[in-house]
Amino acid sequence: MGEKPTIAISHLGCEKNRIDTEHMLGLLVEAGYGVDTNEELADYVIVNTCSFIEAAREESVKTLVELAEANKKIVITGCMAQHFQEQLLEELPEAVALVGTGDYHKIVNVIKRVEQGERVQEVSAEPTYIADETTPRYRTTTEGVAYLRIAEGCDYSCAFCIIPHLRGKQRSRTIESIVAEAEQLASQGVQEIILISQITTNYGLDIYGKPKLAELLRALGKVDVRWIRMHYAYPTGLTPDVIKAVQETHNVLPYLDLPLQHSHPDILRSMNRPWQGRVNDGIIERIKLALPNAVLRTTFIVGFPGETPEHFQHLLEFVQRHEFDHVGVFKFSPEEGTPAYKLANPIPQEIMDERWHRLMALQEPIAAKKNQQEIGKVVDILIEQEHPESGKLIGRSGRFSPEVDGQVYVDGEAKLGTIVPVAIHNADTYDLYGHVVNSYPM
């Protein structure tokens, strides 16, 4: 038996996918494989793909084709492997293995079988696996921050979304398991833990018979970590109990990421989200009342089939009225295998583009105003990187989540991966500027 092969991982897609990448890396390292960041030098390249929307697939395919042209042995994992198994094997003879979203924990066995000359197809039709705190993991984020998956899969069937098909039904981890992993991360010096799943507010429903997010947050309040942030909190699940847990748990950031998708009841109905239409305005007012310092992020889809100028106007007024801190806007992407794929009255691309621009333009001054309000404050900043040229530090406040929100550019000295007080002296639409304060003002 000669040297074990070296393996590189090319990661595409969301932070759920990133955790899968980190577990594959951890398992391979534990099994004694050399893991190389340089794809050119590696014997195998694992491409962890995304299949959420057309643009993401194009990026995944481009990466696969480039590696194939460089004669790499490719292991395709992730959502595209789950979605298009047969086609991928046919069209990419360089692909030596295909691994589904519920099978990434078998990666060591897959590589062994490939080494013996087998072309491996390891794709469970219904993904049911979820890793826990005992599964090896090699973090790829900056040292101060880590993602923690509390559940996998989704039981909703929104008309535009392929996720339940790609990731299976919801399966939650126990509170004990999540707290154990949070403790491990805290002991490694992690300052910020970001809780993710498809629908964080439904956490625990499948194993406890009812959502247990409030209990989970309170349990995480006992872990020695400065910031706990939630992603994907559906507004309907932000019950008074959950809001109270956010209020009362010192390290839970009042950062609420509400994937609303639209404001008009007709569009929500055809998106198969009628449960949301009844609560939009009222629930946002209730959150703002209970958590006056809450940071609200949301995402909207423009150009959903049948979206009339009136529907879009409703959305513009909704965004104007509520003044969200952060808004992400996506153009509708018709996904084969979803009900929305066959809907009548598709919106022409140029109208979709125009609506995207109009909504972004409406949000810009709101985002700028929110940032202006930070000037003159001393804010806790997690320092994440040093700018290679200027030597300036770059970090985030509790108002900003990694990759999707803004950043804070900081003058002064601070250790990477620590949280330091920073006086904010300037702001633009998306970012803030400040300097390290060496002692808090009295």
**Binding-site annotation, residues for [4Fe-4S] cluster:** 14, 50, 79, 154, 158, 161
Q: Which residue has the tokens 């009339």?
A: 308
Can you spell out the DSSP letters for 202-261? Answer: GTTHHHHSS--HHHHHHHHTTSS-SEEEE----GGG--HHHHHHHHH-TTB--EEEEEEE
Phi, psi dihedrals of residue 277, rounded to the nearest 5°: -55, -30
CB 233 within 8 A of CB 257: yes
- Residue 39: Cβ within 10 Å count: 19
CB 192 within 8 A of CB 144: yes
Give the largest CA-CA distance in the chain.
69
Using left for φ > 0, alpha for ψ between -120 and 50, and beta otherwise, residue 70 falls in alpha
Give 319's DSSP letter.
H
| Binding site members | 14, 50, 79, 154, 158, 161
CB 207 within 8 A of CB 172: yes
Can you spell out the DSSP letters for 358-424? Answer: HHHHHHHHHHHHHHHTTTT-EEEEEEEEE-TTT--EEEE-TT--TTTS--EEEES---TT-EEEEEE
**Rounded to whole angstroms, how far apart are CA atoms 303 and 280?**
20
Q: Which residue has the tokens 């990187």?
A: 385
Identity of the amino acid at 183: E
Identity of the amino acid at 7: I
Q: H-helix or E-strand containing 10?
A: strand 6-11
Give the rounded distance of the alpha carbon of 124 from its chain centre.
23
Quick check: helix, strand or coil at residue 302?
Answer: strand
